[in-house]
C-alpha cells in the first residue's frame, strides 16, 4: 500500500501540445510541451524513434495528447500518450507546417518553463485548430501574435500615442517596437526608430486585438496590407526577443 502511494506521487497526467522536439541518444527525444496547468515543460520520450515504440506518433510535433508523465531525476519522462487531436494538415501541408512552426516558436521564445498561462494554452489550441481547418493562415498568425503578446504582458498600445498620449487620428501614424505601440503622426516624425503605419493597417490591428480569437470573421486584405501588418508585428517581436524567429523565414521560403 505504502509503495503504491509512493508510486502515484511520482506520476501525473496532463493534456499537452508538442511545440518542439529534439533527438537525443540513439532513440530518445526531448519534447518541449505546452500544458494547461504547468505552462511549458521539457520532458523526455524514451525509445520513441524505434518503430516498435508504443508512444509512436502521439508525441509528434503539434499533436495534442493526454500524457502520463513520471517525475525523473533531471527531466520528467513520458510513460503513456493518447492522442486527442493530431492536426494532420499541420504536418502534411508544407505551408501550414511553416505557419504552425511559427506559432510554436513564438510561444517557446516568449515563455519560461513551468509558468502556467491557461489563456495562452487555449489560444495555442484554437490557433492550431483554425490553421488545420482552413482559416487564412496569414491573418490567423497576426491575430495569434496580438493575443499572445497581450497574455504575456506585451499588449501593443493601439489607441493612444505611446509618447504624447493623444488619441490617434485616421492619418498615417507610426509603429514603435521600442515603445510598444503606435505614435501619432507628430511624435512619429520626431522618433526615428519607428515605421509608418497606414490607416488601414491600424484599423486591422485594432480589430484583431479587440475581437476574441474565435470570433474573428473572414477578412479580405490586399497583399500590401498583409505585408505591412506582418512587418509591424515582426519588428515588435524581433525587438522583444532580440532576434528573428527562424520560422518567419521558413514561411517566406515555402509560400
**Residue among 160 and 231 whose Cβ is closer to Zn ion:** 160
Does 171 interact with Zn ion (rule: CB under 5 A)? no
Q: How near is the Cβ of 173 to Zn ion at its closest, in Å?
A: 9
Q: How far apart are CA 155 and CA 245, in angstroms?
A: 19
Does 163 interact with Zn ion (rule: CB under 5 A)? yes
Cell 511553416 belongs to 98
Candidates 58-66, 68-76, 156-164, 243-251: pick the segment binding Zn ion (CB under 5 A).
156-164
**Residue among 205 and 245 whose Cβ is closer to Zn ion:** 205
Does 202 interact with Zn ion (rule: CB under 5 A)? no
Q: What residues does 39 pair with on adjacent strands?
A: 35
What's the grid cell of residue 57?
506518433
User: Considering CB under 5 A, how many residues would be counted as binding Zn ion?
Assistant: 6
> What CA–CA distances, in Å, run from 172 to 98, 143, 195, 203, 227?
32, 22, 10, 11, 16
Candidates 60-68, 139-147, 176-184, 193-201: pick the segment binding Zn ion (CB under 5 A).
176-184
Q: How far apart are CA 39 and CA 244, in angstroms?
A: 23
CA 208-243-191 angle, to 5 degrees, is 70
Does 184 interact with Zn ion (rule: CB under 5 A)? yes
**Residue among 147 and 163 whose Cβ is closer to Zn ion:** 163
Q: What are phi and psi of 218, to 5 degrees?
A: -65, 130
Cell 520626431 belongs to 190
Q: How near is the Cβ of 196 to Zn ion at its closest, in Å?
A: 14
Does 29 interact with Zn ion (rule: CB under 5 A)? no
Does 161 interact with Zn ion (rule: CB under 5 A)? yes
Q: For the chain, what is the total number of helices (H) and then of strands (E)?
A: 9, 8
Among 164, 171, 199, 254, binds Zn ion (CB under 5 A): 164
Does 187 interact with Zn ion (rule: CB under 5 A)? yes
**Residue among 94 and 166 whose Cβ is closer to Zn ion:** 166
Q: How near is the Cβ of 195 to Zn ion at its closest, in Å?
A: 15
Torsion of CA 123, 128, 133, 139, to 10 degrees: 70
Which spans of this chain sit near Zn ion (rule: CB under 5 A)? 161, 163-164, 166, 184, 187
Amino acid at each position: 500500500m505504502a509503495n503504491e502511494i509512493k508510486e502515484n506521487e511520482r506520476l501525473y497526467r496532463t493534456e499537452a501540445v508538442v511545440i518542439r522536439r529534439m533527438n537525443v541518444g540513439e532513440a530518445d527525444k526531448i519534447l518541449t510541451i505546452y500544458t494547461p496547468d504547468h505552462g511549458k515543460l521539457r520532458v523526455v520520450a524514451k525509445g520513441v524513434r524505434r518503430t516498435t515504440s508504443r508512444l509512436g506518433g502521439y508525441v509528434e510535433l503539434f499533436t495534442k495528447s493526454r500524457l502520463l508523465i513520471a517525475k525523473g531525476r533531471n527531466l520528467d519522462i513520458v510513460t503513456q500518450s493518447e492522442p486527442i487531436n493530431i492536426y494532420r494538415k499541420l504536418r502534411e501541408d508544407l505551408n501550414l507546417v511553416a505557419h504552425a512552426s511559427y506559432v510554436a516558436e513564438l510561444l517557446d521564445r516568449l515563455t519560461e518553463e513551468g509558468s502556467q498561462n491557461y489563456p495562452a494554452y487555449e489560444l495555442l489550441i484554437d490557433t492550431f485548430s483554425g490553421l488545420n481547418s482552413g482559416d487564412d493562415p496569414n491573418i490567423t498568425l497576426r491575430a495569434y501574435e496580438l493575443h499572445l503578446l497581450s497574455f504575456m504582458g506585451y499588449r501593443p498600445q493601439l489607441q493612444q500615442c505611446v509618447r504624447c498620449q493623444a488619441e490617434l487620428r485616421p492619418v498615417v501614424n507610426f509603429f514603435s517596437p521600442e515603445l510598444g505601440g503606435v505614435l501619432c503622426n507628430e511624435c512619429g516624425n520626431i522618433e526615428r526608430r519607428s515605421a509608418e503605419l497606414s490607416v488601414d493597417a491600424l484599423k486591422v490591428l485594432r480589430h484583431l486585438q479587440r475581437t476574441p480569437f474565435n470570433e474573428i470573421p473572414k477578412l479580405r486584405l490586399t497583399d500590401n496590407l498583409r505585408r505591412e501588418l506582418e512587418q509591424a508585428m515582426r519588428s515588435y517581436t524581433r525587438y522583444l526577443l532580440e532576434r528573428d524567429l527562424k520560422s518567419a523565414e521558413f514561411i517566406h521560403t515555402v509560400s
